[in-house]
Structures are given as structure tokens and as C-alpha cells.
Structure 1
Amino acid sequence: MKILFIGESWHIHMIHTKGYDSFTSSRYEEGATFLLDCLKKAAIDITYMPAHEVLINFPTSLQELNQYDAIVISDIGSNTFLLPNNTFYGLEKTPNALNLIKEYTQNGGGLLMIGGYLTFMGIEGKGNWRNSQLADALPIEMFPHDDRVECPEGIRPKTVLNNHTLLKNISDNWPIFLGYNKVMAKQKAETVVEINGDPLIVVGKYQKGRVACFTSDCAPHWGSPQFLQWESYSQLWLNILQAISKTE
């Protein structure tokens, strides 16, 4: 299985103030390292594209995307795909990355969107996936506003479809999460797991392709330490990817 995993990276810029004087520092972080390591140990061929690389290196043809069995988008806003450097700074026409992903999916490719502060609508609506070209392809409907539900007290998911293939060899002892994106499942989609009465894992089809959404985080902070240490963590992601992987 060959996967393109996009997002889950960020730069932090800090101001240190000590009395009269101050200085700045910055650092770069990636959030999906643990998940990607788990998938690599399971012999999944992963191509990882951090958020900043999308601006300059995202594939510009359907042929390039067709080499992958599934595409994963995690905690990255739609603007990053729609405003590549060549267009935003160079004023050049460039292929619409979201149209390419949509066409890839409708032709039989797999698509998974994982929640976070810039997924679905996200913080202050800045993810803005509801107004993107991919909204039709996803198995969920998004609200037109900031869709975060913060749960600092911790909240446990609840299995809805116990015999679903996504839950094969998965413990029913779900760990806590610290938040999620609130969405609604589309009419023909399947909600496999709920959180706080809202969808956590939703699967569906988009023309020839298979699609899924996981509405919380694959990593901190919504993805709690208990989730990353859960005995079924790796198996869950493997099941989801196998379920949506490209159909011939």
C-alpha cells in the first residue's frame, strides 16, 4: 500500500522578553511522527509532505497522484493547496490541487481527512474545507463556523457499528480524547464510531472512490497520550487505510 500523507507540521515563532530586552526564536515541529512510524513498521509505503512543502512541491498532474493508493490530509487548511507560491507570489496559473485530489478520488483513489485545528472548518473557520472543491467528496457535512469542540475533561468515543470491518481486531475500550471537530454524516455515509453523540469515524463512497473522516486528532493535543499508547492505535489506522485504499 502506497500512501501520500499531507500536513501535521507547523512553525512556532516565539518572543522572549526579559525585563527591558527581548529576542525571538523559532522552531519547526511535526505531529504525525508516531503515526507514520507505526505505519512504516506495518510495511506501508509512506510519502510524507509537510504543510510548507505543499506550497512548492504538490503534484501538478493526476498521473503523479495515481501512484498512491490513498491520500491522507491532516490538520492543514484548504488555502495551503489553493495558494501555491507560484500563484500567490509569482502570479502564475497553476493546476488546482484540490481539483486534482477530487478527480483522483472520483476515479477510484482513497481519501482520508483527519481532524485538527485546520481541518474541516477548524479554528475561526480558517480550515475552510466546507467551501472547498473537496467538500462534495467527503462523507460529512461541515458547519459554516468554527467547529472545534474542546473537551479538557476528556471524552470517550462510543462504537456504533460493532461488526464493521474498520473495527476488526480493535479493542472496544476506547481511550479518551481532548477534543474534536463537530460535523454531520451525509445521508448515505456510515458513522462507525461516535464521540459526544457526533461522528468520530465516518466512511462513504465518492463515485468510484472510497472516503473516510476521523474527526479528532491523530496526535496531541486532541489525540491524548492514552490514545497514542492504546493497544489498537496502529491497527485502527491500518484498518481505515485498507478500507479506503484504491479500487482498480
Structure 2
Amino acid sequence: MKVLFIGESWVVHMIHTKGYDSFTSTKYEEGATYLLQCLRDAGIEIDYMPAHEVQVRFPKKREELDKYDAIVLSDVGANTFLLQNATFYNMEIIPNSLELIRDYVADGGGFMMIGGYLSFMGIEGKANFKNTVLADVMPIVMMDGDDRVEAPQGVQPQTVKEHAITAGLGEWPRFLGYNRFAAKSDADVLVKIGEDPFVVLGSYGKGKTACFASDCAPHWGPKEFMEWEHYQKLWARILEQIKR
């Protein structure tokens, strides 16, 4: 299996103030390092595209996506795909990257979105995927505006349907938040937090799709989740279910 994993990277700019004086520093971080290594250890080939590389590396032709069995988006908003340099700065007409993903799935490719501050609708609605073609692709209905549920007390998902993905997982670890959405009428809800869907499967055209409502890594995915004995198994099983 070969997977294109996009997102889970960020740059932090800091201002350090010491009395009268201040200085700035910048650091770059990637959130999916542990997950990607777990998947590679499970025999899954990963091409990783950090969020800032979408501008220059995302394929310009749909056929270039066919070498992948699945595409995963995690914590990277719609603007990253829609406002690429060629269009934003040079006013060039270029292919819509999200339409390329839609067509790839319709032709049999797998697709998954993982939750985060810039997934689904995200913080202040800035991820904004409800207003893109991927709203048709995903097996869920997104909210209007900010869809975050912050849970510093911890919330625990519950398996509601036995499936190849959930078999033998037992008790889930707690999470510190998630994106709230509803499931489409023909979707398969495997796991919930309260009444909110947490793991949802579906299809679009010839392809299969999945949505995971919380983070694959901190901050919503705490140490308890990262160290869960079924962590690797969970992600490998989801990808196995949606792959081309």
C-alpha cells in the first residue's frame, strides 16, 4: 500500500521579552512523525507532504495521484490547496487541487481526513472544507463555522459497531478535543463520543472514504493515545479499509 499523507506541519514565531529588550525566534515542527513511522513499520509506504510544500509539490494532474492507494489530509486547511502561489501572486489559472482529489476518489482512490485545528471546518471556520468539493466526498456533514469541541477534562470514544477496524480494540483512550460533525445517512459510524460521530466510513463514486474526528497526535491526541497498544493497528486498519 502506498499513501500520500499531507499536512501536520507548522511554523511557530515567538517574541521573547526580557525587561526592556526583546528578540524573535522561529521553529518548525511536524506532528505526524510518530504516526508515519508506525505506518512504515506496518509495511505501508508513505510519501509525506508537509503543509507548506503543497504550494510547490502537489500534483497538477489527476493521473499523478493514481500511484497512491489513499490520500490522507490532516490539519491543513482548504486555502493551502486553493491559494497556491501561481494563482495568489501571479493570477494564473491552474487546476483546483481539491477537484483533483475528488476525481481521484471517484475513480476508486481512498481518502481520509483526520481532525485538528485546520481540519473539517476548524478554528474560526478557517479550514473551510464545507465550502469545497470535498464536502461531497466525505461521509460526514460539517458544521457552519468553528466546529471544535475542547475537552481539557478528557473525553472517551465508545465503539458502537463491530467492524474489521474496531475488532478487539477494547477501551479507547481519552482525547482532549475533536471536530464535531454529523454522519451522512448512508455512512457507517463505528465510534462515537456521546452522540457525536468519531470514526466514520463511507464511499464516493468508486472510492472509499473515512473521517477521524480528533488528532493523530498532540494536542487533542494526548500521550495516553500515542502510547495506546492499538495505536498502530487502528491507523493501519483504517487505511486497509479505504485503499484503492
Kindly report which structure 2 residues correspond to 1:62-77, keeping only aligned pairs within 5 A, or say none: 62-77=62-77
Q: Aligned pair 1:56/2:51, yes or no?
A: no
In structure 2, the residue matched to 1:122 is: 122
1:92 counterpart SS class: coil
Kindly report which structure 2 residues correspond to 1:1-248, keeping only aligned pairs within 5 A, or say none: 1-162=1-162, 164-168=163-167, 170-246=168-244
Deviation at 1:91, TM superposition (A): 1.6
Deviation at 1:173, TM superposition (A): 1.3
Structure 1 consecutive aligned stretches of length 4 or more whose deviation exceeds 6 Å? none
Q: Following the alignment from structure 1 to structure 2, what is the Cα–Cα distance between the partners of residues 222 and 72?
A: 18
One-letter code aligned to 1:207:
G
Deviation at 1:43, TM superposition (A): 1.2
1:117 counterpart SS class: coil
Deviation at 1:196, TM superposition (A): 2.6
Deviation at 1:57, TM superposition (A): 1.1
Q: Give the conservation status (yes or no) of the 8 Å contact 2:158–2:171.
A: no
Q: Following the alignment from structure 1 to structure 2, what is the Cα–Cα distance between the partners of residues 128 and 184?
A: 16
Q: Following the alignment from structure 2 to structure 1, what is the Cα–Cα distance between the partners of residues 169 and 82?
A: 39
One-letter code aligned to 1:227:
F
The TM-score normalised by the length of structure 1 is 0.97
Superposed CA deviations along residues 59-85 of structure 1, whole A, max 9, x for unmatched, are: 001111000000000000000000111
Q: Following the alignment from structure 2 to structure 1, what is the Cα–Cα distance between the partners of residues 44 and 90?
A: 37
1:119 counterpart SS class: coil
CA RMSD after TM alignment? 0.7
Deviation at 1:90, TM superposition (A): 1.9
Deviation at 1:54, TM superposition (A): 0.3
One-letter code aligned to 1:113:
M
Q: Following the alignment from structure 1 to structure 2, what is the Cα–Cα distance between the partners of residues 90 and 2?
A: 34
Give structure 2 stretches of 5+ with no counterpart: none
Superposed CA deviations along residues 111-150 of structure 1, whole A, max 9, x for unmatched, are: 0000000000000000000001110000000011100000
Q: Following the alignment from structure 1 to structure 2, what is the Cα–Cα distance between the partners of residues 79 and 222?
A: 22
One-letter code aligned to 1:185:
A
Q: Following the alignment from structure 2 to structure 1, what is the Cα–Cα distance between the partners of residues 85 and 232?
A: 35
One-letter code aligned to 1:148:
R
One-letter code aligned to 1:167:
T
Superposed CA deviations along residues 160-215 of structure 1, whole A, max 9, x for unmatched, are: 102x11113x4211100000000000000011000132011000110100000000
Q: Give the conservation status (yes or no) of the 8 Å contact 1:56–1:86.
A: no
One-letter code aligned to 2:196:
D
Q: Give the conservation status (yes or no) of the 8 Å contact 1:12–1:26.
A: yes
Give structure 1 stretches of 5+ with no counterpart: none
Q: Following the alignment from structure 2 to structure 1, what is the Cα–Cα distance between the partners of residues 171 and 166?
A: 12
Q: Following the alignment from structure 2 to structure 1, what is the Cα–Cα distance between the partners of residues 89 and 128?
A: 21
2:67 counterpart SS class: coil
